[in-house]
Copies of this chain bind each other. A is one copy, B any other.
Amino acid sequence: MTLKPGPIMAPLVVVRRLPMYYRHLVLLKEKGVERISSRELSRMMGITSSQLRQDLSYFGEFGQQGYGYRVGDLYQAICEILGLEKEYRAVLVGVGNLGRALLNYDNFRKRGLSPVGIFDCDPGLIGEKVGGLVVKSVDELPSFLGTNDIEVGIITTPAASAQEVAQVLAGGGVKGIWNFAPCAICVPDVVVENAHLGDGLLRLFFLMKHEGGN
């Protein structure tokens, strides 16, 4: 098994499937499965086995003809491809219900996200302890970013504040923003992943209309 060196150039649709690979490999590892054929793995994920092999070919050489994949090795490789071998220090801005839900969600810590500062503009929330951290005023965000090495900013503010917060985060040197506000944000030299919570609802409606009950 060999991973391609250097930055990976894969189509966006393949990149979007990587988290699914990760989730299924975690499940297989938890079940104690050591080896799996491309046929079984692809069936679990609802893709074809040729799609599976083609996807993985963007990242390196995996598996063996007639043997399949070693689950542990493929898991390690996917973790490395996804950049999960390290911890990402993060701040979260907007300590409303969604922010609290994310802070209390263990899975994020397991994947390497380490929230070290949380911020809100509501004076009534400042000083409150949420998920082990004390809410600070958003006015303190620039100086906090200046003195702490923060890579990820999570925006869980209303849409109206998101762009302004994104600019402060970018100015403070974060490398990536996970944006849950229902609006586009635009900042140079920062990778942005928009959560688009509502997309799942639209897919559900589509499936109910076109596949319902089958």
A82-B209, A176-B204 known; 4 other A-B pairs, CB under 8 Å?
A19-B202, A83-B209, A88-B208, A176-B212
Binary B-proximity of A186-212 (CB < 8 A = 1, otherwise 0): 000101011111111111111111111
Binary B-proximity of A1-30 (CB < 8 A = 1, otherwise 0): 000000110001101101110110000000
By beta carbon, the residue of chain B nearest A152 is B204
Per assembly, the copies of the chain total 2
Residues in B neighbouring A22, C-beta threshold 8 A: 202
Which A residues from 137 to 176 make CB contacts under 8 A with B? 151-152, 175-176
Q: Shortest distance in angstroms between A199's beta carbon and chain B's nearest beta carbon?
A: 4
List residues of A whose CB falls within 8 A of some B CB. Answer: 7-8, 12-13, 15-16, 18-20, 22-23, 46, 81-84, 88, 96-98, 100-102, 104-105, 107-108, 111-113, 151-152, 175-178, 182, 189, 191, 193-214
Say yes or no: A207 contacts B193, CB within 8 Å. yes
24 A–B contacts from the bound complex (CB under 8 Å): A7-B209, A13-B13, A15-B206, A16-B203, A19-B198, A23-B199, A84-B205, A97-B100, A97-B104, A98-B101, A105-B182, A105-B198, A107-B198, A111-B205, A175-B213, A176-B208, A178-B200, A189-B214, A191-B204, A191-B211, A193-B200, A193-B201, A193-B203, A193-B204
Say yes or no: B178 contacts A191, CB within 8 Å. no
Residues in B neighbouring A214, C-beta threshold 8 A: 189
